[in-house]
Amino acid sequence: MLISLVVPCYNEEEAMPLFYREASRVAAEMKQSHGADFEFIFVDDGSRDKTLQVARRLHSADPRVRYVSFSRNFGKEAGIYAGLKAARGDYVATMDADLQDPPALLPQMLDALLSGDWDCAATRRTTRKGEPPVRSWFAHKFYQIINRMSDTEIVDGARDFRLMNRRMTDAVLQLAEYNRFSKGIFSWVGFRTKWFDYENVERVAGKTKWNFWSLFKYSIEGIVGFSTAPLVFAALVGVIFCFAAFCGIIFVAVRALMFGDPTSGWPSMICILLLCSGVQLFCLGIVGEYLSKTYLEVKHRPIYIAQETEADQDARSRG
């Protein structure tokens, strides 16, 4: 039984050795308790620090360590996909390198899958201790909004940390879309999922790569990728304003016939024009967002480009 740990990394030179040490400890325990072998797949997402050098060093010391290094930064979603594609295990886990996803949960997660009742063991945070309150509030509201808009349920507090059997892993790999939102993809493919709750854990090293703007763009990616409700909303707003304009035309015509056509009212008219124009641009922006995603998909560009893997390092060593 082989378990693959997929670990996307972006500027994680400090955290990677700590993660490897803890994951190796858990792997040794699971080798005795479950007879499981491990491979560690680090995906270097175009890091600007020494992440790639650390991956090379770990591979030289331990052949279980494998890595994929991108030609540039393609994003965490591309890193997850590349790691899943490279994984050879009967069971595949996706984890963060900063140890906010505790490897100590892996034995319980594997037990759930070995029982035969579940295809996936996923994790969710019960608290957001250590995060700014504003960020936590927006995150909670995001899950509320997307679950109202989408038929695909996205669990509040869900992490990318999960352990999947090979069948579910292959199903996820079939969704080779360019614009990726893994939380939605994991839910969309279905399968039986057991959830494990745990309290938020602080990073062991380094700084988070997520700021408010990047999280906002990521949330838009999720909403656009798994719901067409914004398009319906834009159409509904258009119908409402058309009806309001029709009523306004009747009002203006009646007033002109009964009371004449005074020149007063320009400020209110300008406000109405600005409001209507703003709504039109807002709805056009919604349509444009979907159109841009379609444009990127039909180009069929690769999700990532690998510059180096551990096979290249081995080839250089032999040569």
Q: How many CA atoms, within 13 angstroms, populate the side-chain half-sphere of residue 19?
A: 29
Lowest-pLDDT range of 52-56, 87-91, 198-202, 228-232: 228-232
The predicted pLDDT at position 276 comes to 72
What are the extents of the domains in the chain?
2-131+157-207+306-318, 230-298
Closest CA to 224 of 304, 300, 297, 305: 297
Q: H/E/C letters for each residue in the chain?
A: CEEEEEEEECCCCCHHHHHHHHHHHHHHHHHHHHCCEEEEEEEECCCCCCHHHHHHHHHHHCCCEEEEEECCCCCHHHHHHHHHHHCCCCEEEECCCCCCCCHHHHHHHHHHHHCCCCCEEEEEECCCCCCCHHHHHHHHHHHHHHHHHCCCCCCCCEEEEEEEEHHHHHHHHHCCCCCCCHHHHHHHCCCCEEEEEECCCCCCCCCCCCCHHHHHHHHHHHHHHHCCHHHHHHHHHHHHHHHHHHHHHHHHHHHHHHHCCCCCCHHHHHHHHHHHHHHHHHHHHHHHHHHHHHHHHHCCCCCCCEEEEHHHHHHHHHC
User: Model pTM?
Assistant: 0.71
> Which band of pLDDT confidence, cut at 50, 70 and 90, is reported for residue 83?
very high
Pairwise pLDDT comparison (202 vs 279), residue with the higher score: 279
State residue 151's pLDDT score: 63
Does residue 129 or residue 186 have the better pLDDT? 186
Distance CA 199, CA 129 (A): 8
pLDDT tens-digit profile of 89-117?
999 999 888 888 888 899 999 999 998 88
Q: What is the pLDDT of residue 284?
A: 75
Residue reference for tokens 């009806």:
243
Closest to 156 (Cα-Cα) out of 187, 202, 191, 192: 187
Q: Higher pLDDT residue, 304 or 237?
A: 304
Whether the per-residue pLDDT at 146 is higher than 70: the answer is no
pLDDT above 70 as % of the chain? 67
Query: Which of 228 and 167 is assigned the larger pLDDT?
Result: 167
- pLDDT above 90 for 143: no
According to CATH, the superfamily of the domain at 2-131+157-207+306-318 is Spore Coat Polysaccharide Biosynthesis Protein SpsA; Chain A (3.90.550.10)
Residue 29's nearest CA partner among 95, 118, 108, 100 is: 108
Q: How far apart are CA 73 and CA 79, in angstroms?
A: 9
> What is the pLDDT at residue 302?
86
Written as one letter, the residue type at 313 is Q
How far is 169 from 91, CA to CA, in rounded Å?
8
What rounded mean pLDDT belongs to the chain?
79
- pLDDT > 90 fraction of the chain, expressed in percent and rounded: 27
For residues 90 and 166, is the Cβ–Cβ distance under 8 A? yes
